[in-house]
Amino acid sequence: MPVQKKRCKLLFVDDVPANIRILVDLLQVDYDVAFTDSGVHALQLAAEDPQPDLILLDIMMPKMNGYEVCRQLKENEKTRDIPVMFITALIDDEDEEKGLALGAVDYIRKPFSMSIVKSRIRTHLELKQHRDDLQKQTAELSALNAQLEKEILERKKTEAMVQEHLGYLQQLIKEHAFPSSSRSGSSGGDITRD
């Protein structure tokens, strides 16, 4: 039986119901999609398990705009690694620069092409998967390295102990194999020549 691939979870944050409906309807075929119209609620959803694999975030929202949501996501240790894509009606280069400077991985201007949005989502999810795999491998290698260092330290201690015992045994052998007192008196005296 083939292993079923885990569906990625997207969090879509926008205060316009029509935008939510369009994107959710198109994306829920391939992804598990959660949505909210509140920046504060988005921060709560992002911190819950299972966390979203990608956040699609509008900028112009009441109470807390998308820039502030992104800033808080990136400052929180639990949510900082979740990629954020801005999807917004703001079209100025300065707005895009600000969004990317806050840590967003992409900036898509409305109106957008759904095929481009889907392609960029797929790309960022693949990049996140590769990064997650790399972090997992790094953690495994670090744990293995720590174990090897511990084993090397134990072997060095054992080797030092063996060397100490070997030196002690060699000293004992010297002292008992060639006692100096029995060798000196066994000749029976001096031999003189005529």
Contact 34, 10 (CB under 8 A): yes
Q: What is the pTM (predicted TM-score) of this model?
A: 0.73
Alpha-carbon gap, residue 77 to 161, rounded angstroms:
46
Least reliable range by pLDDT among 95-99, 148-152, 173-177: 173-177
Which of 67, 32, 56, 39 has its CA nearest to residue 121?
A: 56
Residue 75 φ/ψ, nearest 5 degrees: -85, -20
Pairwise pLDDT comparison (26 vs 76), residue with the higher score: 76
Contact 36, 42 (CB under 8 A): yes
What secondary structure does DSSP assign to 131-167, as a single string? Answer: HHHHHHHHHHHHHHHHHHHHHHHHHHHHHHHHHHHHH
What's residue 69's pLDDT? 97
Alpha-carbon gap, residue 75 to 172, rounded angstroms:
67
- Judge whether 73 lies within some domain: yes
Q: Which domain holds residue 13?
A: 9-139
User: What CATH code is carried by the domain that includes residue 56?
Assistant: 3.40.50.2300
- Judge whether 104 lies within some domain: yes
Pairwise pLDDT comparison (132 vs 10), residue with the higher score: 10
Could you tell me the pLDDT band of residue 104, with boundaries at 50, 70 and 90?
very high
Q: pLDDT by residue (tens digit) across 42-67?
A: 999 999 999 999 999 999 999 999 99
What's residue 169's pLDDT? 83
Q: What is the DSSP letter of 13?
A: E
- Judge whether 41 lies within some domain: yes
Contact 59, 88 (CB under 8 A): yes
Alpha-carbon gap, residue 111 to 124, rounded angstroms:
20
- Rounded to the nearest angstrom, the gap between the alpha carbon of residue 177 and the centroid of all alpha carbons in its chain is 63
Q: pLDDT by residue (tens digit) across 17-49?
A: 888 888 888 899 999 999 999 999 999 999 999
What is the rounded average pLDDT for all residues in the chain?
Answer: 87
- Judge whether 52 lies within some domain: yes
- Judge whether 95 lies within some domain: yes
Could you tell me the pLDDT band of residue 167, with boundaries at 50, 70 and 90?
confident
Residue 55 CB contacts under 8 Å (≥ 6 apart), including other chains:
10, 11, 12, 13, 42, 46, 73, 82, 83, 84, 85
- Judge whether 31 lies within some domain: yes
What's residue 19's pLDDT? 82
DSSP bridge pairs for 12: 35, 56
What total number of domains does the chain contain? 1
Average of pLDDT values for 78-96?
Answer: 95
Contact 56, 16 (CB under 8 A): no
What's residue 101's pLDDT? 97
What's residue 176's pLDDT? 80
Q: pLDDT by residue (tens digit) across 115-133?
A: 999 999 999 999 999 998 9
